[in-house]
Structure 1
Amino acid sequence: MSHTSFQWPLVRVATVDDADAAARVLRQSIIHLCQLDYADQPGRLEQWLANKTSSHVQNWISQDGFTLYVAEQERGIVGVGGLNNQGIIQLNYVDPHWRLRGVSSALLLEMETSAREAGNSNTTLESTRTAERFYRARGYNTLAAQQAPRDGLWLTKALT
C-alpha cells in the first residue's frame, strides 16, 4: 500500500522556460481567488490581468533588481512570487487548486529569506483585501501612510 502525502513545493528562481506556466498561475489566481478585490470595480480585472502574460513574465525574469520565484510540485508550477532588491514583495500568487496547502507560505518564506540575505532589515508589500489576513497572521503590520509608495494596503514586517 502506498501513501502519498503533500510535500512542500520546491521554491526556486524562475527561468524563461517557466513563463507560460507562471503567467497561467498568475491569471488563474487573480480570476478565481481575488474577486473581493475587483468585483465592485468595473474594468479592474482587465487592468489587473493586462501584464500577466507570458511575455511580461519573461521580462520580469530577466529584469535587473527583481527576482521571480516559482513554487513547483510534481505536476508543475503551482505558485509565483516576486521580490525586488529593496525587499518589496511584488507578487505572491497560488494556483487555485493548491490554495491552503502551504504554497504561498513557502514562497513568502523564500522571499523573506532572500530579502534578509540581501541586507534588507524589513520587507514590505501591497496586499490585496483577499490576502490581508494571510499576511497579518505571518507578522505583517500596516505601513504608515507617509511611508507607502502609493495608495493601497501596504504592510511591512521586520526581518530579524
Structure 2
Amino acid sequence: MVIRDATPEDATAACEMLRASIIQLCVADHRGDPDILGRWLANKTPDNVATWADGQGRSLLVAVEEGAILAVGGLAHPGEITANYVSPQARFRGISAALLAELERRAMALGARDVALLSTETAHRFYLARGYADVGVPAGKFGTAASYPMSKTLATAP
C-alpha cells in the first residue's frame, strides 16, 4: 500500500470509495435514513473531490494498493482533518490508522502543533484510541445523532 497525494484523475474512484464507506460503514450515524444520507453524500461528487485535490490550502491523500483506492483522507491546512474514510473491503487492515498518521505528519510539516477534526459516531472510538480528546459538545451533522469535535496535540512548544 502507498499513501500519496490525490490527483484530479483520482476523483471518480475516490468519490465512489467515499460514498461506499459512508453508506456501508457509517450506519450508526445515518441509521439508513435516506434524507441524512442525501445530505451527507451531496458534496461527494467527482467534480468536488477533484477540487479537494487541488492543493489550494488543503491536502487530499489516498491510500492505494494494486491500483485501487482503499482510503481517502483530507487536511485543511495547517491542522484540520476533514476526511478519513476507508473502503468497506479494506476495513480493519490498519489503513485508516496509517492514513491518519500521514495526515498528522503533513499537519506537523505545515507547522501545526494541534489537529482538530469532527468525528462520526462510527469513528469516535478509533480517534480516542489514537490520542484524540473530545473538545466540545457533540452535535449532529447532516441530521446524524452526534458528531464529536476532537483535537490532539502533535508537538509541544519549544
TM-score when normalising by structure 2? 0.88
- Are 1:18 and 2:10 counterparts? yes
Query: Which of these residues, 60, 68, 82, is aligned with residue 76 of structure 1?
Result: 68
Percent same amino acid among aligned pairs? 45
Q: CA deviation at 1:86?
A: 3.2
1:76 positional shift? 1.0
Paired with 2:136 and 2:67, the residues of 1 have a C-alpha distance of 41
Q: What is the alpha-carbon distance in structure 1 between the residues aligned to residue 85 and residue 149 of structure 2?
A: 17
Q: Which runs of 5+ in 2 are unaligned?
A: none
Q: Distance in 2 between matches of 1:155 and 1:75?
A: 33
Q: Which runs of 4+ in 1 moved over 2 A?
A: none
SS of 2:53's equivalent in the other structure is helix
**Paired residue total:** 149
Gaps of 5+ in 1: 1-8
SS in 1 for 2:78: coil
Q: Provide the C-alpha distance between the structure 1 equivalents of 2:121 and 2:147, rounded to a whole number of angstroms.
A: 10
Deviation at 1:117, TM superposition (A): 1.0
Cα RMSD for the two superposed structures:
1.8
Cα distance change, pair 152–60 in 1 and its aligned pair in 2 (3 A): same
Look up the equivalent residue of 1:94 and give its one-letter code: V
Pairing 1:65-144 to 2, within 5 Å after superposition: 65-144=57-136
Structure label with greater radius of gyration: 1
TM-score where L is the length of structure 1: 0.87
Offset at 1:40?
6.9
Match of 2:51 in 1: 59
